[in-house]
Amino acid sequence: MSFNSGLNIWLNEAELKLEFGEGLFYPERAEKRHLNDIRSSLLNKHAEGPEVLYTIAMDVGKEGHYKDLKKRNLLYGIVAYNDGLIGNELVRSQGHIHAVSPSCQSSTPEVYEILQGQAYIYMQEFVGEVPGHCIVIAAKQGDIVIVPPNWAHYTVNASIDEKMLFGAWCIRDYAFEYKEIREKQGLAFYPVMENNQVKWLKNNHYREAKLIEKTTRLYPEFGLSKENIYVQYEKQPSLFEFVTKPLNYRHLWENFQL
């Protein structure tokens, strides 16, 4: 199935495999995340579900952009999510925080674009017992979502019968922190399906957690438009500097509204 990523890429849905056309660079072998990889963050650690939850192709783009992306320390990836359920939870990632990147001495943001299907991007301010602001953003095809530095987050396929794909800009020397999240059996809310509706069930390892549900917004403060995020880079290569040099944009992060 084809989708609008701004690149000649399509999805083999039967194998949850990304296929790449000519003129692109991409990893020789995509990574896969399996159900057993995320059990420590599930509501039910023994739940059954799809063996492969999602496929990740990091460092993708047009061959003519490779040197520029390396110079800017900017990385584009595409992730394909399986459909179905894990027990009664929607298919999702386990949750992480972006670690401090050596190149910029900061936790870093990420810019998502939903390429196919529907998603929830769940974020919380802290991973201590009191998680602070807990926000889930419902996003559909073509929507853009920014995850700010230091926020814990996970991504959910909002559909049980359709694959979901997203593209994302991040820093090249990214790293993830999982330890505290795994110790608390995940983040503060689980996306549980009841009577064909998603219900956000609180994780009892946290206290004083209240969830706010939102839809996507535009990000004029960062100069972003509704256009495909790879195409936006192509037209203005410096546009995503806020991803790789977040400390230069402190004033925007301090007042950032999810």
Enumerate residues 6+ apart whose C-beta is below 8 A from 198.
90, 120, 158, 191, 192
Look at residues 27, 42, 132 and name the one whose alpha carbon lies nearest to residue 90.
42
- Domain ranges, residue 169: 9-254
CA gap 184, 43 in Å, rounded: 11
The total number of structural domains that make up the chain: 1
Where residue 218 sits, what CATH number does that domain have? 2.60.120.10
Tens of pLDDT along the chain (258 residues)? 557 788 999 999 999 999 999 999 999 999 999 999 999 999 999 999 999 999 999 999 999 999 999 999 999 999 999 999 999 999 999 999 999 999 999 999 999 999 999 999 999 999 999 999 999 999 999 999 999 999 999 999 999 999 999 999 999 999 999 999 999 999 999 999 999 999 999 999 999 899 999 999 999 999 999 999 999 999 999 999 999 999 999 999 999 999
In a domain, 3, yes or no: no
In a domain, 2, yes or no: no
pLDDT of residue 4: 78
In a domain, 120, yes or no: yes
In a domain, 140, yes or no: yes
Helix (H) / strand (E) containing 148: none
In a domain, 227, yes or no: yes
In a domain, 21, yes or no: yes
pTM for the model: 0.96
In a domain, 1, yes or no: no
CA gap 21, 3 in Å, rounded: 13
